[in-house]
């Protein structure tokens, strides 16, 4: 008999990141404590929270920021998870082997054990987001992890633009897709395109919630990083959407914030019964999705 | 050398449908004339525009509304297309053989010829939308048709909830995905859920535009049909979104309306260069999309 609780409380830690990795770990620790004190059962940190967003530049010295998994950060956070009885999503710059690095996230269970690892599958590489230099594309595939609070998929940042990733998470049984993120404005574009960029980001993720009948959460950093001319203004705006795409809570763009949001699990099946997309998928006609382009 | 024009003008005919099919054809004809007079080059009609939305009930007599393609409606509209020099998307209740019917749409070119046929792939069946009774799921697959105004994919209504369909259209080279639609409120739900339903419908389609860097248009009917207690209030709100998901024009919920919208084709490539999702799709990891559910 399945005795999963009918709701879970999700904590999102939207933080600004300092140049010193230890400072960021300390901040994450007290923010997790704060979320747990407010009832959060699963607490998510932003992408690569241990450092500033180093992918603004291509510099071989910056590989020194990487660490193994398990490693020093998971040791600290496992201990904290056990102490507080919460699950933690910890996005890390993973050193898998000398010369082999990933943009990863580990799910830590309330007993301190590691439920597993997700390695970012879709890697961007664009002005000031030079990720292909640092990260080998993930080989984990899209994964769903069992937790005491329900099955959870972790996807990371650029993944959020790919409907395929969200669909695979839902097909694998996720109740919740959480997207640790580091996305912001190029200050020179903010005036003209900033509002449309933020709106597109919200829209595409709310659509994943709608098309898949799942809860979707994005956890972004905030603050400005880098010298003028090559700086990024991270747009915060971390949010949780319900399976109908309604935003349940949202952080501001420009402030650190800890959100704790109750997610009512029966809403998933209720939504899917009313708009039963999974009943009607044409799996016989989707083989083209495995192609790069249909130019034959 | 490719000499396609840099923009095209799209016409959307949002209409209310009367019980008499001839009245609807007459209205469609003058609305197409109106759109052409305002410069439209490709004019789209709503789903099943020849009749009221008969799928509110399951009645074998209503199969009499079906017609062959080519047939009486395409004959009339081909002649009109040739006269006006416009392309027309005509959604029809197709009688393919005795006992075999589809929810289809035909694309008529400005010379009056039929570019081809799309048969709705995803068929709903829910309270007052009893489509599985009438329509065999399409066997055309997702198709893109060449027109003098660029490559166009036609998808129909329920298809709009499936990211797979929009992706396949984009991979096949569509500049524009047009969704003839018949969607509305159950009046009893409108007060509580109506705004969220309409917003979800807009959001999921805008997300197709964003995720695929294409223009997206939805053409809905308006007006109330059926007796109290089993009536539907079609929500109009036909719109065009650009490749960044921005709504370029939108019709009201409760009025007939003809939209004519200029779509600037270079925006497609410009958008995709800035957010290059097609570069980064993980086609090696999407095989799960061909499964009904990943419960193995």
SS3 content of chain B, % helix, strand, coil (to 5): 35, 25, 40
Half-sphere exposure of A263 (CA within 13 A, CB side): 37
Average pLDDT of the segment spanning B94-115:
98
* B235 phi, psi to nearest 5 deg: -95, 15
Torsion of CA B44, A203, A272, B285, to 10 degrees: 100
- The residue in chain A having the minimum alpha-carbon distance to the alpha carbon of residue B278 is A292
Question: Comparing B290 with B2, which gets the higher pLDDT?
Answer: B290
Measured in angstroms, the CA of B235 and the nearest CA of chain A are apart by 17
Nearest to B25 by CA among B68, B69, B70, B80: B80
Q: Cβ–Cβ of A291/B276 closer than 8 Å? A: no
**A269 chain-B contacts, CB cut-off 8 A:** none
pLDDT attached to residue A1? 39
Give the pLDDT mean for A36-63: 98
Residue in chain B closest to A274 (alpha carbons) equals B126
Q: A206 and B207: CB-CB below 8 Å?
A: yes
Of B164, B207, B286, the CB nearest to A203: B207
Give the best residue of B280, B291, B293, B295 to mutate against chain A (max A CB count within 10 A).
B280
Percent of chain A surpassing pLDDT 90:
98
Does A285 sit within 8 Å of B121, measured CB to CB? yes
The confidence score (pLDDT) of residue B237 equals 98
Handedness of CA B266, B286, A175, A277 (dihedral sign): positive
Alpha-carbon dihedral A108, A110, A111, A113, rounded to 10 degrees: -10
Checking if the pLDDT of A43 tops 60, the result is: yes
What does the block give as tokens for B31? 């609305």
Kindly list the catalytic residues of B: 47, 120, 157
Q: Is the pLDDT of residue A3 over 60?
A: no
CB contact under 8 A, B288 and A246: no
| A204 closest CB neighbour out of B211, B282, B283 | B211
Work out the mean pLDDT of chain B and round it to a whole number.
Answer: 97
Axis-axis angle for helices A187-212, A163-171 (nearest 10) = 30
All residues of chain B having their beta carbon less than 8 Å from the beta carbon of residue A196 are: 244-246
The pLDDT of residue B211 is above 70: yes
Burial of residue A165 (CB within 10 Å: 0-12, 13-18, 19+) is buried
Delimit the domains of chain B by residue range.
7-280
Query: Above 70 in pLDDT, residue A2?
Result: no
Which residues does chain A have within 8 Å of residue B166's beta carbon, measured at their own beta carbons?
163
Catalytic hit among A44, A157, A225, A233: A157
Cis peptide bond upstream of A87, omega within 30: no
Torsion of CA A221, A223, A228, A232, to 10 degrees: 30
Determine whether A132 is an active site residue.
no
pLDDT of residue B5: 76
Mutation test of the interface with chain B: which of A162, A192, A195, choosing the one with the most B Cβ atoms within 10 A?
A162
Contacts of A165 in chain B (CB under 8 A): 282
* Closest residue on chain B to A204 (Cα): B207
User: Which of B165, B171, B196 has its CB closest to that of A293?
Assistant: B171
| Sheet bearing B222-225, strands edge to edge | B184-185, B232-235, B222-225
| Cβ density class B170-183: b for 16+ within 10 Å, e for less | bbbbbbbbbbbbbb
Task: Tell whether the model's pLDDT for residue B296 goes beyond 80.
Answer: no
| pTM of the predicted structure, to 2 decimals | 0.97
Please, are residues B125 and B133 in contact by the beta-carbon 8 Å criterion? yes
- How far B28 CA sits from the closest chain A CA (Å)? 30
Residue range B129-150, pLDDT digits in tens: 999 999 999 999 999 999 999 9
The pLDDT value given to residue A5: 76
Residues of A in contact with B188 (CB under 8 A): none
Q: Residue A62 corresponds to which tokens in the numbers above?
A: 């910056």
DSSP letter (8 states) at residue A126:
B
What is the rounded CA–CA span in Å between residue A155 and residue A170? 12
Query: What is the predicted pLDDT for the residue at B112?
Result: 98
Q: What is the mean pLDDT of residues A218-231?
A: 96
Q: Do A164 and B282 touch (CB under 8 A)?
A: yes
pLDDT, tens digit, 9 for 90 and up, residues A154-206: 999 999 999 999 999 999 999 999 999 999 999 999 999 999 999 999 999 99
Shortest Cα–Cα distance, A36 to chain B (Å): 31
* Cα distance between residue B202 and residue B210, in whole Å: 12
Structure confidence at residue B291 (pLDDT): 98
CB contact under 8 A, B289 and A294: no
Decide if A126 and B283 are in contact by the 8 Å CB cutoff.
no
Are residues A168 and B126, on separate chains, in Cβ contact within 8 Å? no
List the one residue out of A143, A125, A141 whose CA is nearest residue A133: A125
Give the number of A-B residue pairs with CB atoms closer than 8 Å: 165
Q: What gap in Å lies between CA B272 and CA A141, rounded to an integer?
A: 25
In the set A47, A131, A225, A233, the catalytic residue is A47
Q: What is the DSSP letter of B257?
A: E
State the residue for tokens 């248009």: B217
Distance of CA B76 to the CA centre of its chain: 20
Mean pLDDT of B81-106: 98
> Could you tell me if A55 and A90 are in contact, meaning their C-beta atoms sit under 8 angstroms apart?
no
Contact A172 B294 (CB under 8 A): yes
Q: Which of B123, B203, B206 sits opposite A280 (nearest CB)?
A: B123
From chain B, pick out residues whose CB is under 8 angstroms from the CB of A199: 245
Under CATH, what is the fold of the domain A7-280?
Nitrilase/N-carbamoyl-D-aminoacid amidohydrolase (3.60.110)
Chain A residues closer than 8 Å to B207 by CB: 163, 203-204, 206-208, 211
Rg (alpha carbons) of chain B, rounded to whole number? 18
Q: What is the pLDDT of residue B235?
A: 98
**Rounded-to-10 torsion of CA B226, B228, B229, B231:** 30
CB atoms B204 and A210 under 8 Å: yes
Best B286, B290, B293 member to test A by mutation, with max A CBs in 10 Å, is B286
Residue B1 has pLDDT above 50, yes or no: no
State the Cα–Cα distance between residues B115 and B148, nearest whole angstrom. 11
Would you say how long chain A is, in residues? 296
* Burial status of residue B60 (CB atoms within 10 A of its CB: 0-12, 13-18, 19 or more): exposed
User: CA A165 to CA B211: how far, in whole Å?
Assistant: 12
Interface test with A, best of B170, B203, B269, B273 (most A CBs within 10 A): B203
């Amino acid at each position: 008999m399945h005795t999963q609780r009918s709701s879970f409380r999700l904590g999102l830690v939207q933080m600004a990141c300092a140049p010193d990795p230890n400072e960021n770990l300390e901040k994450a620790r007290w923010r997790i404590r704060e979320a747990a004190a407010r009832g959060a059962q699963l607490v998510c940190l932003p992408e690569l929270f241990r450092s500033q967003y180093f992918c603004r530049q291509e510099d071989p010295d910056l590989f020194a920021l990487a660490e193994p998994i398990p490693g020093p950060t998971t040791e600290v956070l496992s201990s904290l998870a056990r102490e507080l009885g919460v699950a933690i999503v910890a996005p890390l710059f993973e050193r898998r082997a000398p010369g082999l690095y990933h943009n990863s996230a580990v799910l830590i269970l309330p007993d301190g054990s590691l439920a597993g690892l997700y390695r970012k599958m879709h890697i961007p590489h664009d002005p000031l987001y030079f990720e292909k230099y640092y990260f080998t594309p993930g080989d984990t595939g899209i994964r769903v992890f069992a937790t005491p609070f329900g099955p959870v998929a972790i996807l990371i940042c650029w993944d959020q633009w790919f409907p395929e990733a969200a669909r695979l998470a839902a097909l694998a049984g996720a109740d919740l897709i959480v997207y640790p993120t580091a996305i912001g404005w190029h200050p020179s574009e903010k005036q003209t395109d900033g509002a449309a960029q933020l709106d597109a980001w919200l829209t595409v993720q709310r659509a994943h919630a709608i098309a898949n009948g799942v809860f979707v959460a994005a956890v972004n950093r905030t603050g400005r990083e880098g010298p003028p001319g090559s700086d990024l203004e991270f747009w915060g705006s971390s949010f949780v959407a319900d399976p109908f795409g309604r935003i349940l809570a949202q952080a501001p763009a420009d402030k650190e914030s800890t959100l704790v949001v109750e997610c009512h699990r029966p809403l998933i099946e209720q939504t899917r019964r009313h708009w039963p997309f999974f009943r009607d998928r044409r799996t016989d006609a989707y083989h083209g999705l495995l192609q790069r382009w249909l130019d034959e």
